Every structure is written in C-alpha cells, then in structure tokens.
Amino acid sequence: MRIVFVSAEVNPYSKVGGLGDVAGALPAELASLGVDITVMTPAYATVDHRKFKLESSPYRFNVNTGSETAECGLSRWQSPQNPNYQIGFIENEFYFGSRGVYTDQNGNYYRDSARRFLLFSKATLEAIRVLNLNPDVIHCNDNHSALIPVYLRAKSHDYPDLQNTRVLLTLHNIGYQGIVEMSARRIYDLPDELFFPAAPLEWFGRINPLKAGIFYADAVSTVSPTHAVEIMKEDSLSAGLKNVLLATGNPVHGIVNGVDYSEWNPANDRYITKPYSIETLQDKFHNKVALMNDIGISPEFVQKLLIGMVSRLVEQKGIPVLIGALERILKMEIAIVILGSGEAEYEQSLRQFAERFPGRFKFDAGYNNPLAHKIIAGSDIFLMPSRYEPCGITQMAALKYGTVPVAHKTGGLADTITQWNGQTGNGFLFDNYSADDLLNSVSDAVVTFHHKKTWRLLQQNGMQADFSWRRSSEQYITLYQKIINS
Ligand code: ADP
Ligand code: GLC
C-alpha cells in the first residue's frame, strides 16, 4: 500500500501543535507496519538541512498560482531504518525558506497564507509526479492541503496519472478553514463556476478551501469518534460545516490519535529532574518540587495540589471559561502553572492573575517544549477546559505521567479520559462548558488529592492506559483499504 501523507507541520522539523505531533509519529508507525509512505511538507526556515541530514534532490518544477509562477525544489529525508519511509520537503525560498509555519515572529498570520498553501498543495502534486510515487491514497490534513482533491477532480485532465488515486481528508481542526476573500479567486486557476454561490469553493460570498476539500475528497475523517459524531450533529462544533459534511452522504470516520511514547514517557524523559514509572511513582514528587522551585512557586504549596496547563491560548481551548473560574479556583488551597501562547487579550488576563497572586500562580507566555515536559511531569492535575477538542494529545501524555486530567467532556477528551468513580476512571470530566462546572471538577480533584491511597489508584489507572500509535495506525490502514476498494 502506497500512501502520500500531506501536512503543513511535522515534528521535529516544524511542529506548532498536535498536527505536527501526528505527522511526526503516525507515518513512522504506518511504515513499521509495512506501509510505503512519503510525507510531504514545506521546507520552512526551521528545516535545517545539515541538522536533519536532508539530501537535496535535482528536481525543480514550476507551480502556477494564478498571476504568478513559483519555482520549487525538493529535498528529502530518508529513514535509515526503513526504505519505505521518506519525507519530501517542498522548497521555495520566498514562501517557505525564509518564514515560519503559519505566523511571523509577532504571531501574525502571513497575509499571503492562501497563496502559500495553494502553492504547497499544487507543488505536492508535482512532487508526486516527479518522484513517480503513484500513491494508492493521498492523505490530506486540514485546510492547508484540502485543495489537493479539488485539483485532482476539477482539473482531472492535468493529473491523468492520479485518476485512480483516492484522497482521504482528515480534519484535525475544523475551526480553521483557510477562508479568504472572493477577490483572491484568480490565484486558484480553477473554473469560474466553482466559485458561484453554493458551489464547492463558495462560502457566504468568500472562498473556503476546507469546504471544497470535503466536497471532493473520497473520504473524510477526524481524530476521535466522539468528535466525528459532534461535527455531524452540531453546527457550533463543526464551525458551520455540518451540512457540508452531511451532504457528502458519507459518515465522517473517527480515529483517535496516539501519543508518541518515545517522547512522552516519564521513565526516560530527558527534560525532567527525576525519571519515574508506575513502580516508582513516589519519585514524581521530586519533579513537582523541582518545577515549583524553577518557576518560583512558594514552597508552602508543596503539599498542596498543583494545577498544570500547556495550551495554545485561543477560545477553542476554553480560556474564557478558565479565566471566568480562576478567581474562585484561587480561593482553594492550590497553586497553578500555565504555559501557553496565543491571543494577546488572554495573555494579558493571565499576566494580571500572575501579578495578583505571586508565589502561587505562574504564567509563561512562551512556546517551550522542555518546560511543557516539566509541567506535565511535575503537576498533580492537568487542566483542559476546551470548548471543543477534536482529539488532544497533551491529556494522553499527562495520563502516562500520573498527572490526572480535569477536562470538559468533549471530542477526544471524552474518548480518552474516563470519569473517576472511586475505583475506576482516570480523570475528572465536566459535562457543561461553564466556569461553574469546571470549578466543581477541580474541587472534586482537590478533595480526592488529599486521600493519598485513592489518589495513587487514580494515577495508576491513567498510567496503565495505552494510547500508543499502533492501534490508531491499524485503524488508518483499514480505512485506506476501504477507500482503495470503494
Ligand atoms: P492543538 O493541536 O489543538 O494545539 P494538541 O493537544 O493536539 O492540541 O497538541 C498540542 C501540542 O503542542 C502538544 O504536543 C503540546 O505539548 C504542544 N504545545 C502546546 N502549547 C505549547 C507551548 N506553549 N509550549 C510547548 N509545547 C506546546
Ligand atoms: C488539532 C486539534 C487537536 C488534535 C490535533 C491533532 O490541532 O485541536 O485536538 O489533537 O489537531 O490531531
């Protein structure tokens, strides 16, 4: 089975969030199961040829984006262990080589994002041709590569060799659709009627690449079974695309992500002070003390519950509900550490709490992988009040570290966390997306935390759960097979 996996971000070359985690781990696991897999991604400024041992390839090709033709190159990483696993990096100095993934240094989205990802999508199709990959399935991910099925089907005469190739489009985050103004339409070089009202690319007078991708893909999936049901049922959880999904006449498949245990394992985590496992769970405490010390939480809180959070600071992640509950959470005998960057307004509010509660509320507005590991290892509970969460990776990492998740019961959080009932369960879930419900769950966790034996059982339940990529990969192979045979 030959697969091309297309992603705007790939760990460790260009990770921004969970999509990067998935694109780094899933293809490797698929390759170990015998799938022939090529990942395609842009060569951003962070993709250092020397450090990552990339080979330059002789291929150069021109890609047309309406009024302009961009020359692209291609470099490759070949897995030393597996001849069937490679990554192709699409090169173009102006659009990728001199820039970051989605945003500039100030966190602003690049204004030519539509053209950048259009270029990436069309260049991927060219690279498939020059490398003679002949895939059975092109696995597209999110809006950045959603135009691939559009070109394959709406411009089929340009891609005669790929007419038997199927396309799977996975929705990691349906809230980001790549929408642009109708005035950008000349860059696409697609027939006018595709932009007419109600046509595949048209969306309330604007252009919506994700909508068109859903329309043309052979199959659509998302990253948990619960979220698959949610987006077919509720407009607010599908960011308006519910009817577009239903109109395909096919169900949305739901395959829960895994977590990469070669990176997230307390027994051999190079970033933490004292490695530990389920047998040496008492050693987790050393990591709590070290974390509190590093970030400046007062030692008087060492026996109290420490809440940790690592998240993008955007509405999806439940930051407004968290901020609404914080004043009351801080009335409890607890300390809090939050690592996250995102919207200025949220950063500002969290900074104010940090100023008002020095020594017990710490906020770091950076992107910091070592600190993320330290927080996940050193905290007692891990907070994820997300309004919606297609899957979420950090709660699965937290479970492995005996850090008990407290989360809104939605999407992948509902599929990976089970409510503690005194014996079984591995975390605390609240049903309603509200500050009151969040507060109730935190207070349940605080009470339970002070019953040491019970707490240990709860932690062990989480540490025993297995969210390795193996199971998800097997489900993807079954899905690929199904769409190849369809
Ligand atoms: P999403 O992709 O929606 O942001 P996920 O839970 O799927 O959510 O994945 C987030 C990934 O990004 C995790 O690997 C998490 O550790 C990482 N991450 C998020 N924010 C930060 C940060 N500020 N610093 C370091 N890592 C972060
Ligand atoms: C998205 C989602 C997150 C998911 C990740 C990887 O960023 O917000 O829930 O885990 O993609 O699939």
- Residue 312 Cα: closest atom of ligand 1: 20
CB of 341 within 6 A of ligand 1: the answer is yes
Give yes or no on whether 2-258+470-485 and 281-466 have one common fold: yes
Q: Poorest-confidence range of 98-112, 178-192, 199-213, 326-340? A: 98-112
Q: Which CATH superfamily is domain 2-258+470-485 in?
A: Glycogen Phosphorylase B; (3.40.50.2000)
CB of 308 within 6 A of ligand 1: the answer is no
- d(CA 267, CA 251) in angstroms, rounded, equals 40
- Residue 257 Cα: closest atom of ligand 2: 12
- Residue 391 Cα: closest atom of ligand 1: 7
Rg (C-alpha) for the chain, rounded Å, is 23
For residue range 406-459, list pLDDT tens digits in order: 999 999 999 999 999 999 999 999 999 999 999 999 999 999 999 999 999 999
Copy the structure tokens of residue 379. Answer: 């905290």
Q: What residue's CA is closest to ligand 2, atom 5?
A: 18
At 13 the pLDDT is: 97
Expressed in angstroms and rounded, the spacing between residue 348 Cα and the centre of ligand 1 is 20
- d(CA 339, CA 368) in angstroms, rounded, equals 8
Q: What residue's CA is closest to ligand 1, atom 2?
A: 18
Question: Taking Cα atoms as reference points, which of 109, 130, 115, 157 lies closest to residue 40?
Answer: 130
At 106 the pLDDT is: 82
At 67 the pLDDT is: 81
For residue range 294-325, list pLDDT tens digits in order: 999 999 999 999 999 999 999 999 999 999 99
Q: How confident is the model at residue 105 (pLDDT cuts 50, 70, 90)?
A: confident
What's CA 348's distance to the chain center, in Å?
25
Q: How confident is the model at residue 206 (pLDDT cuts 50, 70, 90)?
A: very high
CB of 21 within 6 A of ligand 1: the answer is yes
Give, as one character, the DSSP assignment of residue 313. Answer: B
- Residue 175 Cα: closest atom of ligand 2: 8
Q: What angle do CA 119, 241, 223 make, to 5 degrees?
A: 75
At 107 the pLDDT is: 82
Expressed in angstroms and rounded, the spacing between residue 466 Cα and the centre of ligand 1 is 20
Strands 381-384 and 305-310: what pairing? Answer: parallel
Q: Which residues contact 227 (CB under 8 A, 6 or more apart)?
A: 237, 254, 388, 389, 390, 391, 410, 411, 412
Expressed in angstroms and rounded, the spacing between residue 312 Cα and the centre of ligand 1 is 6
Strands 202-203 and 137-141: what pairing? Answer: unpaired
- Residue 411 Cα: closest atom of ligand 2: 9
- Residue 393 Cα: closest atom of ligand 2: 10
Expressed in angstroms and rounded, the spacing between residue 403 Cα and the centre of ligand 2 is 20
User: Is the pLDDT at 135 greater than 90, yes or no?
Assistant: yes
- Residue 170 Cα: closest atom of ligand 2: 12
CB of 310 within 6 A of ligand 1: the answer is yes
What distances in angstroms separate CA 273 from CA 263, 269, 371, 377, 385, one per listed residue? Answer: 15, 9, 11, 9, 28
Which residues sit with their C-beta closer than 6 Å to ligand 2?
A: 17-19, 22, 172-173, 223, 257, 389-393, 412
- Residue 21 Cα: closest atom of ligand 2: 6
Q: What residue's CA is closest to ligand 1, atom 9?
A: 18
Q: What top-level class would CATH report for the domain 281-466?
A: alpha beta
For residue range 359-377, list pLDDT tens digits in order: 999 999 999 999 999 999 9
Expressed in angstroms and rounded, the spacing between residue 337 Cα and the centre of ligand 2 is 22
- Residue 227 Cα: closest atom of ligand 2: 9
Q: Which ligand is nearest to the CA of 397?
A: 1
Q: Which ligand is nearest to the CA of 376?
A: 1
Q: Which residues contact 439 (CB under 8 A, 6 or more apart)?
A: 325, 328, 329
Q: How confident is the model at residue 215 (pLDDT cuts 50, 70, 90)?
A: very high
- d(CA 5, CA 17) in angstroms, rounded, equals 17
Copy the structure tokens of residue 363. Answer: 């906020």
At 269 the pLDDT is: 98
Q: Which ligand is nearest to the CA of 11?
A: 1
Q: Residue ranges per domain, the chain?
A: 2-258+470-485, 281-466
Q: How confident is the model at residue 218 (pLDDT cuts 50, 70, 90)?
A: very high
Ligand 2 binding pocket mutation candidate from 223, 311, 413 (most atoms within 8 A of CB): 223
CB of 265 within 6 A of ligand 1: the answer is no
For residue range 254-284, list pLDDT tens digits in order: 999 999 999 999 999 999 999 999 999 999 9
Q: Which ligand is nearest to the CA of 17?
A: 1
Q: Which ligand is nearest to the CA of 226?
A: 2
Question: Taking Cα atoms as reference points, which of 394, 383, 373, 381 lies closest to residue 287?
Answer: 373
Expressed in angstroms and rounded, the spacing between residue 18 Cα and the centre of ligand 1 is 6
For residue 85, what is the enclosing H or E element? strand 85-91
Indicate the angle between helix axes 435-449 and 452-464, nearest 10 degrees.
Answer: 110
Indicate the pTM of the whole model. 0.97
Expressed in angstroms and rounded, the spacing between residue 335 Cα and the centre of ligand 2 is 27
Q: Which ligand is nearest to the CA of 396?
A: 1
